[in-house]
Amino acid sequence: MPAIVDYVEDIEVNTSADGVEVIREKGISADSFADIINQKLLPEYGTRHPDFPQMRLISGQVSKSGNDGGKWQGWWRGTYSSKTSSAPSDKDPWELDAHEYSAEPFAIEQPMIYGYDKKGKRHQLKNSAGCMLQRQHTIYGVRHSFLFCVKDKGSRPRFNQNALVNSSTVKIAGETFEAYTALLTPPSASLRVEYNDSGSVKRSYWDVQVEIRQHPRSWETETLNVGTMAKFPDSTIPEAIYKYTPWTSKDPDKNFNVKPVYGSIRDVAKAKHTYGKAVSGGAQNDQYWQAYKELPWEEVTEPLPLDLSGRIYTDAMTDPDKNEYYVVSLFDTEVGSFSQYGFPRKREGN
Segments making up each domain of the chain, as ranges? 4-82, 93-219+332-341, 226-324
Q: In whole angstroms, how far apart are CA 253 and each of 148, 247, 258?
A: 79, 11, 10
Instruction: Render pLDDT for 219-269 as a digit per residue (tens, 0 to 9).
Output: 999 999 999 999 999 888 999 999 999 999 999 999 999 999 999 999 999
For 5-33, what is the mean pLDDT? 91
Of these ranges, 59-63, 171-175, 253-257, 315-319, the one predicted with the greatest mean pLDDT is 171-175
Beta strands 334-336 and 164-166: pairing type?
Answer: parallel
Buried b / exposed e over 152-187, threshold 16 CB at 10 Å, is beeeeeebbeeebbbeeebebbbbebeebbbbbbeb
Least reliable range by pLDDT among 34-38, 288-292, 335-339: 34-38
Q: Is the pLDDT of residue 1 over 70?
A: no
Spatial distance between the Cα atoms of 24 and 14, rounded to a whole number of angstroms = 12
Q: What is the pLDDT of residue 133?
A: 86
For 199-227, what is the mean pLDDT? 95
Least reliable range by pLDDT among 159-168, 240-249, 315-324: 315-324
How many percent of the chain have pLDDT more than 90?
Answer: 75
Classify residue 123 as exposed, middle or buried by CB count within 10 Å of its CB (0-12, 13-18, 19+): exposed
Torsion of CA 28, 85, 207, 201, to 10 degrees: 30
**Band of the pLDDT at 134, cuts 50, 70, 90?**
confident
Give, to the nearest 10 degrees, the angle between helix 286-294 and helix 265-280. 140
Q: Is the pLDDT of residue 343 over 90?
A: yes
Report the mean per-residue pLDDT for the chain.
93
Q: Is the pLDDT of residue 164 over 80?
A: yes
Residue bearing the bigger pLDDT, 39 or 158: 158
For 14-37, what is the mean pLDDT? 89
Q: What is the pLDDT of residue 261?
A: 96
Q: What is the pLDDT of residue 33?
A: 83
Q: How far is CA 246 from the centre of its chain?
A: 49
CB 206 within 8 A of CB 190: yes
**Band of the pLDDT at 153, cuts 50, 70, 90?**
very high
For 4-12, what is the mean pLDDT? 92
CB 330 within 8 A of CB 160: no
Q: What is the pLDDT of residue 198?
A: 82
Q: In whole angstroms, how far apart are CA 206 and each of 93, 178, 185, 212, 305?
A: 9, 28, 18, 19, 52
CB 214 within 8 A of CB 144: yes
Cα-based angle 293, 297, 300 (whole degrees, multiple of 5)? 150
Q: Is the pLDDT of residue 295 over 90?
A: yes
Spatial distance between the Cα atoms of 60 and 81, rounded to a whole number of angstroms = 12
Q: Is the pLDDT of residue 86 over 80?
A: no
Of these ranges, 6-15, 74-83, 189-198, 206-215, the one predicted with the greatest mean pLDDT is 206-215
Q: Is the pLDDT of residue 211 over 90?
A: yes
**Band of the pLDDT at 67, cuts 50, 70, 90?**
confident
Q: What is the pLDDT of residue 190?
A: 95
For 282-304, what is the mean pLDDT? 95
Read off φ and ψ for residue 88, nearest 5 degrees: -55, 140
Helices (H), 229-314: 252-255, 265-280, 286-294
